[in-house]
Amino acid sequence: MSYLFTSESVSEGHPDKVADQISDALLDEFLAYDANSKVACETLVTTGQVVLAGEVKSRAYIDVPEVARNVIERIGYTKSEYQFEAKSCGVLSAIHEQSDDINRGVDQKVDPMDQGAGDQGMMFGYATNETDNYMPLALDLSHSLLLELADIRKNELHLMPYLRPDAKSQVTIEYDDNGTPLRIDTIVLSTQHDEFGTDQEMQDKIRQDVINILIPRIKSKYKFRNDILSLFNDNIIYHVNPTGKFVIGGPHGDTGLTGRKIIVDTYGGKGAHGGGAFSGKDPSKVDRSAAYASRHIAKNLVAAGVSPEILVQVSYAIGVAKPMNIYVNTYGKSNVKMTDGEIAKVVESLFDMRPKAIEDRLKLRNPIYSETAAYGHMGREPKSVEKVFQSRYNPEPLKLKVELFTWEKLDFVDAVKKAFSL
C-alpha cells in the first residue's frame, strides 16, 4: 500500500526566520572580532519591534541595533506599509554575560580537547540518497520553491511584481512500500503580496503565476534527474494562497521567535530531531555543532555506500567532553554485513565527537552562520567565501576567508569505504 509524506519550508521573510537570521548575524559579528566568543542570542520580532535577549561572553563590542537593521533590510522589509521596516523599527537589547556556572564546564585550561559540552541533550543527523544533496525529496522541493520565489522577488520582480518577503511552501509525495517516490501529490504555496485587485483576482493571478512561472523554473533545477522530473504530473493538487489573501504578513502578521523552525532547518520530519534549536548559538553548544557533525557522518556513510538511508544519534552531558553514545540506524537497508551497533563502533573510531574536535574538524569557530539561518542548515553547498565586516567600533573593514557548510563535505568517504571494505 502506497503512502504520502509531507515536508514544509518557510522563506527568509517568515517572522521566525527573520528572528533566526538576526540571531545568527549577531553570532557572526561576535565571532568575526573574537573567535572565542560564547554566544546564545534569542530574538523576538513583532509589529515595528525587535527584542534581543541572551548571554554573551566576548572581547568584541558590536553595534547590536545596526546588525539587526542590516538583516531586516537585506531580507526585504524596507517599506513602511509592511509595519515592520529596517530603518524605523525599534530594537531593544537585553543581552547579558554568560553564566559562570555554565562556562566552568565548557572552558578547559589544561587540554583544550577536554572542553565539555555546553549542555546535555541528544542530536541527530540524517542522510538519504533520494537527492543529489542527500536530503529528503519533499523538503528539498519545498526549499527550492521558496529559494526560487525569493530570487524572482529580488532579481526579476517584473515576473511577479506583487511579491512580499513572507512565504511558506509544502510538498506531499506519494511513495511505494519500498520507499520509492511515485509522484508529487500536492504542492501548497502561500506568499505575501501587495493588494492589487479583488480577493479572487489576486488569488487567481498568483496561482496562475506559480503554476506557469515558478514550477517550470523548479523543474529546470532537476533537469538532470529524470527520476525526479517524472514525479511532476498533470494531476498535482495546487493550493496557492488558500485563504484567498495574504497581504498582512511578516512580523506584523505573526510574532517571530528564534528556534521555532527546527524541522525546516533539518530534515523536514524525516529521520529525527533532538529538539535543540541552532540559530544564535556558538559551536560550544552541541545542539548546533553535534547536529552538524552527525549530519556529516550520515552523509559520508550514505555516499560511501554503507546504506541508502542512515540516521545517526549522539548525546552529551553538560561539561563532559566524551559523548554518552553514538547510535546508527540503517533502517534495515545496510549494504555491509554488520549490525547497526557494530557500524556505530566503527563510526566512533572514525569520527572524534568531542565538542572541541568537532569545532576543529568542521572549522566552526568562524563567522559562517548567517548563511545557515534560512532555507535549511543541511543539504547546502560547501564553499569558500570572503566575508567583510564593517563596524563603527573598528576603523578598517575586517575581511575574512571562511568555509561555509563544512559538514556537507564528502571528505570522509574514502576513510569510510576503507573501514567497511567497500
Known binding-site residues for ATP equal 14, 166-168, 245-246, 254, 260-261, 277, 281
Kindly report each contact of residues 206-210 with a partner whose C-beta sits within 8 Å and lies 24 or more positions away, as own/partner.
206/160, 206/162, 206/240, 206/241, 207/238, 207/240, 207/241, 209/159, 209/160, 210/238, 210/240
Which parts are annotated binding residues? 14, 16, 42, 55, 98, 166-168, 245-246, 254, 260-261, 277, 281, 285
H or E element that contains 149: helix 137-155
Q: In terms of residues, how long is the chain?
A: 422
Assess contact for 188 and 242: CB atoms under 8 A.
yes
The residue written with cell numbers 521566525 in the block is 16
Cβ-Cβ contacts under 8 Å for 110 (sequence gap 6 or more)? none
Which parts are annotated binding residues for Mg(2+)? 16
C-alpha cell at 326: 553514538
Which parts are annotated binding residues for L-methionine? 55, 98, 254, 285
Can you say whether the dihedral through the CA atoms of 33, 37, 43, 49 is positive or negative? negative
CA distance 102 to 89: 33
Q: How many CA atoms lie within 13 A of 25 on its CB side?
A: 25
- Going by their DSSP bridges, the two strands 3-10 and 163-175 should be labelled as antiparallel
C-alpha cell at 208: 496562475
Rg, C-alpha atoms of the chain: 22
Q: CA-based angle 177:179:181, to the nearest 5? A: 110
Which parts are annotated binding residues for K(+)? 42
User: Among candidates 369, 368, 344, which has minimal Cα distance to 294?
Assistant: 344
CA distance 349 to 343: 10
Assess contact for 18 and 251: CB atoms under 8 A.
yes
CA distance 116 to 358: 12
